[in-house]
Structure 1
């Protein structure tokens, strides 16, 4: 049986998802010297050792969030804002376009200009996944 000091030669560690693209957030902090069981601790090889001074620094180093890993180093980290999927953007634009068309034409019993019909159809195709080649939304008619 391997003893704790052999398995975890350092006392303090930071954990992260080793399969995620970096930078990636720190997802756990481990003080292996104070734990009664190390069964739930990932292998030391997949952790980043932390110095005692850094471990003790809970104001700017060992934080519950805002720390990440890049190339084996712990860094300041902010979760990136996930990009809004183009289909979601199209759905949102479609709501606004429908309101605009109704307010300017439908409510007045006026015919919808062809430019607006084309725009609505293009948005619908993106929103419903029929258009898979567009990378941006079409420009709204003036």
Structure 2
């Protein structure tokens, strides 16, 4: 005679094909804690003593071990709010941590938003590992590091914005309204005049600012002797 009896653990796996499940609230968010059905514990480590208290698998959302592991770190906003697609019974943002393709990239902890309407769809984002997310957070102590998603390699790389180049004519105009104006005011107050070198410097700066000089690549050095 063939023994057709199954162990309790086998019966559980038949009734609950995934190890982890969560209940779905009326507003289609994940109810915490979640169930480790095979281990008969919840995600807080408490034993499940009444199997009848667990809804049928068809009423729950199945979770992966990786998703349950991500529940161990609370969102920066202080509370989980994990949205569920009611039709498919899956998490709207299954990977929790994401960045977009911007330069630099914007980052999202998608499980911590009270309203996800402003969040891009997960298909428009790039999933990040917990380590990638944490590395970016840890950089805050020295100035938050910018990153960009490298589409060629499918990885997150550090990004440094290119230096802002101020047009030479604008530099010259600032020199006239700033340092030169200050020297002229001082010379007038002291009853002195600009030296020949200073006068030549002022003319050179005016030529750059006015667009007459279009060949210079930098401002000339300030003269050593200014007033006489």
- Structure 1-normalised TM-score? 0.57
- Paired position in structure 2 for 1:138: 220
Are 2:137 and 1:62 aligned? yes
Selected match of 1:40 from 98, 108, 118: 118
- Spell out, residue by residue over 1:31-69, the C-alpha distance to the aligned partner (whole angstroms, 9 max, x if none): 2x55565432224344221124444x2xx3336631311
- Paired position in structure 2 for 1:14: 99
1:65-80 aligned within 5 A: 65-72=144-151, 73-80=155-162
C-alpha contact 2:97 2:107 (8 A) present in aligned 1: no
Provide structure 2 residue ranges, at least 5 long, that are not aligned to the other structure: 1-84
- Paired position in structure 2 for 1:50: 128
C-alpha contact 1:90 1:127 (8 A) present in aligned 2: yes
Provide structure 1 residue ranges, at least 5 long, that are not aligned to the other structure: 18-23
- Spell out, residue by residue over 1:86-123, the C-alpha distance to the aligned partner (whole angstroms, 9 max, x if none): 3343234333345446656994455752x433321221
Aligned pairs, number: 131
C-alpha contact 1:15 1:28 (8 A) present in aligned 2: yes
Are 2:96 and 1:96 aligned? no
Are 2:201 and 1:119 aligned? yes
Q: 1: distance between equivalents of 2:90 and 2:214?
A: 54
C-alpha contact 1:88 1:127 (8 A) present in aligned 2: yes
Q: 1: distance between equivalents of 2:149 and 2:171?
A: 32
Q: 1: distance between equivalents of 2:194 and 2:112?
A: 75
Q: 2: distance between equivalents of 1:121 and 1:127?
A: 10
- 1:137/1:34 CA distance change after superposition, 3 Å: closer
- Structure 2-normalised TM-score? 0.41
Q: SS of 1:13's equivalent? A: strand
- Paired position in structure 1 for 2:47: none
